[in-house]
Structure 1
């Protein structure tokens, strides 16, 4: 007689679309969603990259499909989601994990930052997140069920130097998250933001810390140590920690959570 309990999958029979699925955050959460039983629809602008992620998911027994989608293009996003729903029957979770290169945007004093470089992250993030959320909600609201998710780092809340318009763009995302919930939660659609520290496992954060280290005259390792020291744990958030939280918050077990930011900063921010 088998006395082992059958594993409960938090996202079994859920359909999840991940935007920016080829990046470190997008691919990590996509793997986490698939591991918990979801069918993941991976999107990005580089098909080879997201195909590689899909193969990794399939190799471990998960279900994944890929498509080239620019999250800033409403027509493309809408057409892709229509196709997903036509084939799968629903869209249960939309996770937007797109990112932009920090080169030319961070590590530069505001007095020396070109206006277009200041505005780029603000307009890019606001546009892409509004489009993907709006497109997803159009399918979720009639079913009275769904979750819109996004991710920000701690400068969305903290006053940090040399981040240019990035902090403003991230703060706009968190404001959008609250607005989405205010309109859609009554229709069964939750909006959740996950806020972390920079994660040293990601290539982008190494670039960011390098830019900041050069700007203030320290090494990249010293910059990482300084960032880690700001936390209560004296270490930065990991991709595994972000993924675990994303899986739980996307599940029905977090049904009372909406319009909020899940604080994964390890004490850099306490609220």
Structure 2
């Protein structure tokens, strides 16, 4: 197994993307620590992992609360013996469907502020332990991308660009300690769209149509890519993105 003996923290572990990554981590042998604000989805993912023979623990946690994140990271490292993988996929509170010219300032800035704060807090908490270990992987999700006419993604793209700037800086500063920092870029995951989302089918169709392979990335694809990126199979990959967009996001 790719992650046998590793300890992984997934912030937003009860969500669709966090759950997919957590299940893949556990499948590959990692002990998974799911953190989030709502107990029911965390427990649901934990039960899925346990029923498949994996190890999972849950913690109610606001990933914007620096003290709580630091205390949780300390507990994980102390009880499990190490903190090897950190992935933050909490929701950023973005508002979509409204042109910037018609948006409220707070709606545009909310995802940017949330992304910067939570990425800083969770990456710093992980880095403290990983620097002592001289090893570890910090994963981000989103990455730089393009915006098609009429998408009206508000501050989401700005938030992703901010995360990328932080990922580049973290990779440079933490590389000498053997810590890798990698972003997963998807171009959109139709399965992750809320079932009651207005225009869900049209949005999912647009995501698929934008790909070269004419199939969008799935949650299973996300989990597989996250497990690979966190493993020694990707030991030479840092300061980089792994593009799982099926060709929607082009790297020429």
Work out whether the TM-score is over 0.5. Answer: yes
Shift of 1:224: 2.8
Could you say what secondary structure the match of 2:111 adopts? helix
Deviation by residue 1:59-106 (Cα, 9 ceiling, x = unmatched): 11100111111111110000001111111110000011111344xx11
Classify 1:109/1:245 alpha carbon distance in 2 versus 1 (closer, same or farther; 3 Å).
Answer: same
CA distance in 1: counterparts of 2:247 and 2:29, whole angstroms: 31
Does residue 1:43 correspond to 2:35, yes or no?
Answer: yes
Residue in structure 2 matched with residue 60 of structure 1 by the alignment: 52
Does residue 1:164 correspond to 2:144, yes or no?
Answer: no
Could you say what secondary structure the match of 2:96 adopts? coil
Residue in structure 2 matched with residue 69 of structure 1 by the alignment: 61
Residue in structure 1 matched with residue 171 of structure 2 by the alignment: 181
Does residue 1:121 correspond to 2:99, yes or no?
Answer: no
CA distance in 2: counterparts of 1:61 and 1:131, whole angstroms: 31
Q: 2:238 is matched with which residue: 258, 262, 265?
A: 258
Could you say what secondary structure the match of 2:190 adopts? coil
Q: 1:23 is matched with which residue: 15, 36, 39?
A: 15
TM-score normalized by structure 1? 0.88
Does the CA-based 8 Å contact 1:93-1:146 persist in structure 2? yes
Residue in structure 2 matched with residue 193 of structure 1 by the alignment: 183
CA distance in 2: counterparts of 1:206 and 1:238, whole angstroms: 19
Q: 1:229 is matched with which residue: 209, 215, 219?
A: 209
Which aligned runs of 4 or more in structure 1 are off by greater than 4 angstroms?
A: none
For 1:66-215, list aligned pairs within 5 A: 66-102=58-94, 105-152=95-142, 156-160=144-148, 161-204=151-194, 207=197, 210=198, 213=199
Shift of 1:54: 1.0
Does the CA-based 8 Å contact 1:21-1:42 persist in structure 2? yes
CA distance in 1: counterparts of 2:166 and 2:4, whole angstroms: 28
Could you say what secondary structure the match of 2:170 adopts? helix
Larger Rg: 1
Shift of 1:225: 2.5
TM-score normalized by structure 2? 0.94
Does residue 1:269 correspond to 2:252, yes or no?
Answer: no
CA distance in 2: counterparts of 1:206 and 1:137, whole angstroms: 38
Does residue 1:243 correspond to 2:193, yes or no?
Answer: no
CA distance in 2: counterparts of 1:228 and 1:163, whole angstroms: 17
Does the CA-based 8 Å contact 2:98-2:154 persist in structure 1? yes
